[in-house]
Structure 1
């Protein structure tokens, strides 16, 4: 006889926190490397005419929006983290919702990585530059947020498109 067991809540949160820690550590580690090796030096060409490492201090949001508005970023991030904790606590701990769980962890890791920069440095360290298309300079946390955001849209539009799939987000009525 098989029993469909659900792991304890603390295991769910421990795994989630571990993933967030690892991804945030990778982001902050890459930024530390850039700060110690690339700041005030010429760009490092990885693929000539295509990809290079270029140190940039981004004091705004995406594409330099809201430059110098640290309190706005802090408030937005705190609100985002609150929504994340609300949703994460309610995502069923089953295999069906694993893609949603992982996507949300990646997204919050990216937000946390840039949040740490804004709070402690007053700017975000960007360093990946696609010179071929003159794309704005970005970092690992940006990759986490953008890729998980795209994946989230795909998941919501295709995998979790039915209303009943979102029952876990509804407020419980007594």
Structure 2
């Protein structure tokens, strides 16, 4: 099978003089016809627009049709059988209903042990000036605090104490208020 030369086939062939003259005459005739077509295009588009406007006007002139519901007679269907419930039993098959009506339930309540008085300790400092500064911050929250001096085996400490409170819950309320102010060092302790 001979090989085909695709490169040479894609090249344009030289035109004959006779063919080029016929092409030019065809092209000039096509240009002359296309030059006369704009009036045809304008006439066709104006006809479509006029037809569209007339269609809208025609639809607007139409009277609306009343669509009253037509009374239709129901078509006879098979008589429906009524779903009947089974007869009610004479005696209740379960006994728990009667047992629950007559049963008495006893519940033992354990008394909650009330916590005794409590206090908040919000800091412990070696210097009294630091303790007084913390007391002033607590005073901005609207809570009064005391600075107590304590002596231990490892020296003198100045503690900031709030309270006494009636319960740990009351102390926790003030501790949460101080946390909102940015003082997170408070701890609830039993008052002794």
Q: TM-score range by the shorter chain?
A: under 0.3
* Length-normalised TM-score, structure 1: 0.18
Whose strand proportion is higher, 1 or 2? Answer: 2
Whose helix proportion is higher, 1 or 2? Answer: 1
Please say which structure displays the higher CA radius of gyration: 2
